[in-house]
A and B are shown apart, each in its own frame.
Chain A
């Protein structure tokens, strides 16, 4: 039984953190888009995608992240990522997503980079 995908938004030191939970596939589109719009409403300069509780990402899930990156570019927001394991870091490199977002092991280092750059 596939897991339900959830995306929730919180704010840490002026950074919008989107916590992603469950399987990221086609079903995730609505929740992810809604979370991104919520995060953007607060006019944050940086959005952090936290994959710590994401259990699976397929190619459709990766395409959703690309769409988020494109929207962030329009809004002149920076997108950072944390909580990816070795396997998905590798996927972010294959797909060249890593060219456009900085990858961090944990939330603290991502927030530190986002706030120092602000």
Chain B
């Protein structure tokens, strides 16, 4: 506003250049290294001190995987669906996989932790809430996560029905994870999001089978990122699990 109370004209380009743009609160602040403070539950924290890694920084082929479910017959709005999904995110996860949300909720800049079962072993890592608005929110993965990914959850109207969608843009972070994806981890991941969407639909009184579309965005591998194996979540989760007795003994001595 100008000093005499007249509203200044803003052009679209002015708005984009505005340091306090209208979506500023929707984005996480710039963080060099993650800090998962204030996470509910007894989650193994293997993300503190890790940098964020997007799909461009990963090793493997780049995939875009879209999972969606049509909530036919539901009169819920996209905003209502997203409000429930965001607030009750862990409840829609498959049994045996645990998601530990930040105490502040899935707000931009917050870090959540999770622990998932991948056959004989458990993998523990976390995600940063990169973006959140009324109709979508996005997670970004840290170093050590099995994927270098963004996962965007959204809801929208299509053909008169609300649709809930999870879209994953991802690469395996390192060669070990790339092999794991081809040996079955891709299917486990697909099953995870199909389960989540089925349970979300059920929450809104809809029984529906989610659909999936998978596209290979870049078939080449980033060999310069093969070094990411140093942070591999599987290796670190195994070390964490094997170290449990030592931590119990230490805790007992401290008491």
Contact = CB atoms under 8 A, between A and B. Distances in A.
Interface of A: 3, 21-22, 26, 51-60, 62-63, 66-67, 69-71, 73-74, 83-88, 90-91, 93-97, 99-100
Given A67-B169, A87-B20, A96 B218 contact: no
B144 interface: no
Contacts of B75: none
B156 A90 contact: no
14 contacts: A54-B16, A56-B16, A58-B131, A59-B138, A69-B56, A73-B220, A74-B220, A84-B16, A85-B19, A87-B21, A88-B16, A94-B28, A96-B52, A96-B56
Interface string B4-36: 000000001101111111111011111100000
Contacts of A73: 218, 220
Given A53-B13, A54-B12, 17 more contacts: A3-B12, A22-B12, A55-B16, A56-B22, A58-B23, A59-B137, A59-B152, A60-B136, A69-B56, A71-B217, A85-B17, A86-B19, A87-B24, A88-B16, A91-B27, A96-B53, A97-B54
B57 interface: yes
A44 B204 CA distance: 50
A54 B23 CA distance: 13
Interface residues of B, number: 43
A29 B131 CA distance: 19
B82 interface: no
Interface string B132-154: 01001110100000000010101
B45 interface: no
Contact of B133 (A22, A51, A58, A90): A58
